[in-house]
Structure 1
Amino acid sequence: MAEDSSSSQSFLRRYWEGYKEFWGERFSFLDNYSRFIKRDKPLPSWSDSDVEEFIASDPLHGPTLRTAREAVKISAVGGIIGAVSTAGVTWKYSRSLHGTALSLGAGAVFGWTFGQEVANHWLQLYRLDTMAAQVKFMEWWQNKVEGQ
C-alpha cells in the first residue's frame, strides 16, 4: 500500500511539473514584468503627468505608450456602453434585479472586449510592441524613483 501511495504522489508530482512547464512556456512574457512585481519594496504609484513626462522623453516608446493608453480609453467606453445597454434591456423586459446585475457585469466584459477589438484595429495596435513600451516605462519609473 505504501508503494501505491508513493507512485501516485510521483505521478501527481510529474503531472504538476508538466503542467507548470506547459503554462510557463505560454506565459513566459510575464517574466518581463517579474522584476517590477516581485520586489521587496514595491514601486510607488505614478501619475498621468509622470506618464506624459516619459512620453515626451522617449521618442521611440513614448508614442507607443500614448497609443496604448488611448486604446484603454476606447475599451473603457466600450465596457460602459455594453454594461449600461445590456442592463437596460434586461431591466426593461424582465424587471429582475439579479438578472440586471448579471447582465451589467456580462455587458461590461463583452463591451470591454469589443472595445479592445475596435481599438486594436482603429489604432493599429497589432503593428506596435506595446509590451516593450510598458517595460521601458517601468524601467524609467524605477530609475526615476530610485534616483539613478
Structure 2
Amino acid sequence: MAEPFSFLDSYNRFLKRDKPLPSWTEADVNEFISSDPVHGPALKTAREVAQFGVVGSIVGGITTAGWAWKYSKSPHGTVLSLGFGAICGWTFGHEIGNHCLQLYRYNTVTAQAKFLEWWQNKS
C-alpha cells in the first residue's frame, strides 16, 4: 500500500521536524536556482508550470461562471461553476504547461527536496 506514495519519503525529513523551517522568499528561491546548475532549472521550470495552472484556473473559472450566469441567472449555480471551472482550468493549465515546457524531462521531487535541504542548511 505504501509503494504508490514512496515519493513522500523524500520529504519526510522536512515534514516530520520538531521545529518547522522558516519561510523563504522569491529571492531565496532565485538564489538556489542560480547556485545549483543541476536542480535549479528543474525547480525554475516547475514554478513556471505553476503559473500556467494559475492562468488556467482564472480563465476556466471566469468562463464557466460567465456561461452559467448567462444561461441560468442562478447565483448558486454560478458559484459552483466558478469553483468547478477553476479546478478544471488548473488541471488543464498544468497539463499544457507540462507539455509546453517539457516538465517530464525533470525530476521535480528531487529538485524540491534539494531546495528544502539547501534552505535547511542556509537557515
- TM-score range with shorter-chain normalisation? over 0.9
Q: Which has the larger radius of gyration?
A: 1
Deviation at 1:62, TM superposition (A): 0.7
Q: Percent identity?
A: 64
Q: Which runs of 5+ in 1 are unaligned?
A: 1-21
In the alignment, which residue of structure 1 is the partner of 2:67? 89
In the alignment, which residue of structure 2 is the partner of 1:9? none
Letter in 1 for 2:21: L
Q: Which runs of 5+ in 2 are unaligned?
A: none
Provide the C-alpha distance between the structure 1 equivalents of 2:114 and 2:104, rounded to a whole number of angstroms: 18
What is the aligned-residue RMSD (CA, Å)? Answer: 0.6
In the alignment, which residue of structure 1 is the partner of 2:40? 62
Letter in 1 for 2:61: A
Provide the C-alpha distance between the structure 2 equivalents of 1:98 and 1:34, rounded to a whole number of angstroms: 41
The reply on whether 1:80 has 2:53 as its aligned counterpart is no
Provide the C-alpha distance between the structure 2 equivalents of 1:86 and 1:31, rounded to a whole number of angstroms: 38
Provide the C-alpha distance between the structure 2 equivalents of 1:106 and 1:86, rounded to a whole number of angstroms: 8
Provide the C-alpha distance between the structure 2 equivalents of 1:26 and 1:65, rounded to a whole number of angstroms: 23
1:112 to 77, 90, 109: 90
In the alignment, which residue of structure 1 is the partner of 2:110? 132
Provide the C-alpha distance between the structure 2 equivalents of 1:42 and 1:35, rounded to a whole number of angstroms: 11
Letter in 1 for 2:70: K
- Kindly indicate whether structure 1 or structure 2 has the higher relative contact order, using CA contacts under 8 Å at least 6 residues apart: 2
1:31 to 9, 16, 19: 9
In the alignment, which residue of structure 2 is the partner of 1:98? 76
Deviation at 1:64, TM superposition (A): 1.0
2:23 to 41, 45, 49: 45
Deviation at 1:30, TM superposition (A): 0.7
Q: Report the number of matched residues.
A: 123
Provide the C-alpha distance between the structure 1 equivalents of 2:106 and 2:3, rounded to a whole number of angstroms: 23
**What are the superposed Cα offsets for residues 74-107 of structure 1, whole Å, 9 maximum, x if unpaired?**
1110011000000011011111111111111100
Deviation at 1:28, TM superposition (A): 1.1
**What are the superposed Cα offsets for residues 44-94 of structure 1, whole Å, 9 maximum, x if unpaired?**
111000000001110111111111100000111001100000001101111
Provide the C-alpha distance between the structure 1 equivalents of 2:66 and 2:12, rounded to a whole number of angstroms: 41
Provide the C-alpha distance between the structure 2 equivalents of 1:57 and 1:107, rounded to a whole number of angstroms: 38
